[in-house]
Amino acid sequence: MRPTLSWTPTEDLPPGTTDLEPVAEALSAGGVLVLSGAGLSTESGIPDYRGEGGSLSRHTPMTYQDFVSGARARRRYWARSHLGWRTFGRARPNAGHRVVAAFGRHGSLLGVITQNVDGLHQAAGSEDVVELHGSLDRVVCLSCGVFSPRRELARRLEEANAGFEPVAAGINPDGDADLTDEQVGDFRVVPCSHCGGILKPDVVFFGEAVPPRRVEHCRELVREATSLLVLGSSLTVMSGLRFVRQAAQAGKPVLIVNRDPTRGDQHALTRVALPLGAALTAVADRLNVPVDGRAPA
């Protein structure tokens, strides 16, 4: 299964707006469920997949089928991911993450479902975050199922690959750095320290299904929410779009903040086409919600 690179609207979609009032009204009412995507983390230096200059224009993420197909594919993945982790792990929450956390503390949110694997919602202080696609901060063994911290694996890979310092052409939303086969070279992959099995980041690869219990938990959150606020997602893949469709079918308002059109626009009350950090900060100021101790303007 190759990743979905784009989608073509089958009908005319309403244009984006700059009116933040519907978003402010929903957050003022409370019970909002946030669904966030890669666009929320671009202001932290992590590119998105499909926006302008998105990584899919130059990079095809590894699928689960490729990863388990052989040692060569895993060597390529872990060399690129190990190098990317050095940059990815240094990313810090931006204004958008901080405002989401502030609305959580304010009691406006039911919770957060994120398609991102960067942990920046939690780093900003958000609680009740469902990591739909997992987290790069954890590693799982495909044989014994034991989880371990990514920092532990990073240390072991550093020891096994002393002097591995290639210069990457770019970093991608999944933490994968752009390296040539020559740069990957004879990179050494280390096995599970418990059983010697194959290690995999605890993320949902393309071609891999989100665990059913996690999906059902998200569906339950949608059922409990008063509205769904989508932040920075093109909704191109069904992984997130299904929750938009569920909310719309239940008659719950769907509000989207994304600069580009999305696959969920036809189900939305509005799509605000503004930069996320500035837009969310403006809503927080309008509702007098302090962000990181900063008094509203």
- Annotated binding-site members for NAD(+): 37-57, 115-118, 232-234, 276
For the chain, helix, strand, coil in percent to 5 are: 35, 15, 45
Helix (H, G, I), strand (E, B) or coil at 41: coil
User: Is the CB of residue 31 less than 8 Å from the CB of residue 110?
Assistant: yes
| Marked catalytic residue, from 106, 133, 194, 217 | 133
Query: Which residues line the annotated binding site for Zn(2+)?
Result: 141, 144, 192, 195
Determine whether 194 is an active site residue: no
User: Is the CB of residue 138 less than 8 Å from the CB of residue 150?
Assistant: yes
- DSSP conformation letters of 1-12: -PPP-----SSP
End-to-end CA distance of the chain: 48
Tokens 């244009």 label which residue? 15
Query: Which residues line the annotated binding site?
Result: 37-57, 115-118, 141, 144, 192, 195, 232-234, 276
95/108 Cα distance (integer angstroms): 17
Which residues, in sequence order, are CB contacts of 273 under 8 Å at separation 6+?
15, 16, 17, 18, 258, 259, 260
From residue 104, alpha-carbon distances to 50, 81, 88, 111 in Å are 28, 32, 25, 7
| Catalytic residue positions, numbered | 133
